[in-house]
Amino acid sequence: MSRGFLKMNGLGNDFVVVQGADDFKPTPEQVRAWASREGGVGFDQLIAISNDGQASPLVRFWNNDGEQVGACGNGSRAVGWLLMQATGKAQAAFHTAERPLLATNAGDNRVSVDMGEPRLRWDEIPLAEDMDTRNIELQIGPIDNPRLHTPGAVSMGNPHVVFFVGETPDDAAVTGDGSLIEHHPLFPQAVNVGFAHILSNNKIRLRVWERGAGLTKACGTGACAALVAAHRRGLTGRSATVVVDGGELLIEWREDDNHVIMTGPVAVEFAGTLP
């Protein structure tokens, strides 16, 4: 059975979105074949929107390595935009296996998504052992002069560590250190790795090595995690522009309800059929 899809992106982080996907159960091999940029459609994440009998649609995500994951921030904006286009309303509710989400039209092909509360306990992220998630006990490099150390840890429905660095790392550094840390024994479910350069109280330059996807142009949950981790360390306020390779996201960690709000653009590239 052929499957129609929309190819979309959020700041260059690209996805294939399949709608009406109640019986859509791709194998890891299929996802990897479709994700290939040589012979496949080419994408960072695959997204399926279906109705699981609840009041709001169910959204599922797969990284391009074929693994199903709990969250994708940029993909959530794309889903919200599609649902609002379908209903003509200014808001759209949906849910993942991890949490309910609410998208709001922010104008000019921009969408805000309420990503819910960050999870900050060591066993919620999860880590392999109990430690303070503001500054976890992890370092990379020589023991007396590590090049990376004591990152913050946050879950936004998927696990993140955020290292604070003095300058923005190049591709080789992100790839080398990110791929090393992704499968560190401290992270039983592997981890997304952020490298955050604090530019000011309300601006962060961020690069992310995504678990199961590698170096991408943007990572929405990574941007949320970076702001939360930075504010917990007293490095920024509760709101900041996060500059990623593909552009800018506005992230706010609200004080009243503890929810993280992510705002950024959405673009549709083309429609097609999965081979």
- Going 149 to 150 to 156 to 158, the CA torsion angle's sign is positive
Going along the chain from its start, the domains and CATH numbers come out as 3-116+265-274 (3.10.310.10), 139-258 (3.10.310.10)
Cα 134 to chain centroid, rounded: 20
- The mean pLDDT of the chain is 95
CA Rg value for the chain: 18
pLDDT digits (tens, 9 = 90+) for 13-26: 999 999 987 889 99
Tokens representing residue 146 in the block: 């590590």
Q: Give the pLDDT confidence score for residue 1 in this predicted structure.
A: 62
Whole-angstrom CA distances from 166 to 35, 61, 79, 104, 211 are 34, 33, 35, 35, 23
pLDDT digits (tens, 9 = 90+) for 243-269: 999 999 999 999 999 999 999 999 999
Contact (CB, 8 A) for 220 and 73: yes
- Full-model pTM: 0.93
Q: Give the pLDDT confidence score for residue 84 in this predicted structure.
A: 97
Give the mean model confidence (pLDDT) for residues 26-48. 96
| Residue environment code for 64-99, b if the CB has 16+ CB neighbours within 10 A, otherwise e | bebeebbbbbbbbbbbbbbbbeeeeeeebebbbebe
Cis peptide before 188 (omega within 30 of 0): no
Tokens representing residue 49 in the block: 């929107």
Between 152 and 98, name the one with better pLDDT.
152
Residues noted as catalytic: 72, 219
Give the mean model confidence (pLDDT) for residues 79-108. 95
Q: Give the pLDDT confidence score for residue 205 in this predicted structure.
A: 98
d(CA 231, CA 34): 38
Contact (CB, 8 A) for 214 and 182: no
**Confidence class for position 231, pLDDT limits 50, 70, 90:** very high
Give the mean model confidence (pLDDT) for residues 29-38. 96
